Copies of this chain bind each other. A is one copy, B any other.
Amino acid sequence: MTQEPETVAVVGGTGDQGFGLALRWAKAGRHVLIGSRVRARAEEAAAKVKAAVGNSARVEGSENADVVARATLVVLSVPFEAQIATLKAVRTAWRPGQILVDLTVPLEASFGGSPTRVLKVWAGSAAEQAAQHVPENISVVGAFHNIGAHALQEIQHEVECDVIVCGDNAEARGRVRPWVEAIPGCRYVDGGKLENARIVESLTALLIGINRRYKVPGAGLRITGLPH
């Protein structure tokens, strides 16, 4: 079995980070479906992707439930406060074998506070919360939390960041690897169980604070000491 024919849906792909991922994957020749609550906005984002990476890009825009139904990998990139509502809205679109890749970070900024602080959700992490709002036969993986929108959208530059991938199903984590490696500069790091997303998500708030203190657009991280 090969990963190549997989199609990714980016739910919330009109937002900064989701759009950045769509750009990167389209540039890598992947089939990308951009989802939005409003079809027209998704189509507009798809057109912007084509404008940026070329007309041969395989990218389409549609409503969230529609892109979920058509993809093998579903990336959820919405603000934390919209996560549950979005998952409820697409609840019936899932098909067995799909994977949900959750990027959500529960920043305090979601309800008027600071983007350098996180809240602790009852489920533990946003990713574990997501898992409570998809059918049981959908594997949930947390990933891509720590890459900022700026780094993704600067498509002429490599992204200098490891992607720590957490999920209870090791095979599902593995299926995310080629999507990580399709982005130049990104390295896949096995983050283990989904519960570890608690830590990986919170790292985003730390990086946002580092961006502010160092006046840089997109601090990232590398894990050192791994085998080559």
Contact = CB atoms under 8 A, between A and B. Distances in A.
A52 interface: no
A111 B112 contact: no
A210 B189 CA distance: 8
A76 interface: no
A51 interface: no
B121 A122 contact: no
Contact of A111 (B80, B189, B214): B80
Contact of A196 (B82, B85, B116, B191): B116
B214 A224 contact: no
- Main SS of chain A's interface residues? mixed
A120 B122 CA distance: 8
A216 B225 contact: yes
Given A117-B122, A124-B124, A219 B223 contact: yes
A74 interface: no
A76 B134 CA distance: 35
Interface stretch (A4-12, A91-99, A197-205): A197-205
B111 A118 contact: no
Interface in A115-131: 116-122, 124, 129
